[in-house]
Structure 1
Amino acid sequence: MEKTSDFKAYLQSDGGAVVFPVSAGGREVRCSISRDALEQFFWLPAEANEARVVKAFSDGRGRVFALAVRMALRAKSDTLALTAADFER
């Protein structure tokens, strides 16, 4: 697995996703994970505030980054949006 970029995650202004960078295949990929995915797979309460959303992301960071890097290595795009469906297995 490739290393992640300097950890700079933030919540989108609409609160719908956390955005974070990863380095994959020698390029920087701007990734996001939907709030729905965090609620379904990372124990985020539906009514959570911004701080709790970022904490849920941080707590699941290893799993999120692992999937993001694998998907980014296969993708041709410089952006990647992770949804709940990506974590279903």
Structure 2
Amino acid sequence: MDSTFAADVSLSADGKLVLFFISAHNQSVQCSISREALEQHFWLPAGANDARTLKAFADGRQRITAAAERRMLKSSGAPIALNTAEFARQ
């Protein structure tokens, strides 16, 4: 899938999610990945600060985006929430 990854990345108010958008096929979808998934599959240390959390996301961006794209194919524009189970299958 040919998608564009928006530079618009932020943390949720409670710090438990990284929020981002992906765009593909004239569709933009809000996505999130849990901090737990970043800790378990993207080497984020437990208790890491916000800057380190966003760096872990940036470092794993290609894999995270690919997972979101797979989910996007199955959804109808609904927000996509990625968690540890999504990456345990890979």
The TM tier, using the shorter chain, reads: over 0.9
User: Alpha-carbon deviations, 1:43-75, whole Å to 9, x = none?
Assistant: 001110000000000000000001101111211
Q: Which piece of structure 1 moves more, 42-51 or 24-33?
A: 24-33
Name the counterpart of 1:6.
6
Give the aligned CA root-mean-square deviation in angstroms. 1.1
Distance 1:50 1:84, change over 3 A: same
Equivalent residue letter for 2:21: P
TM (norm. structure 2) is 0.92
SS in structure 2 of the partner of residue 20 of structure 1: strand
**Runs of at least 5 residues in structure 1 that lack an aligned partner in the other structure:** none
TM (norm. structure 1) is 0.93
How far apart are residue 26 of structure 1 and its match? 2.2
Aligned length: 89
Percent of aligned pairs sharing the same letter: 49
Distance (Å, rounded) in 1 between the aligned partners of 2:61 and 2:28: 17
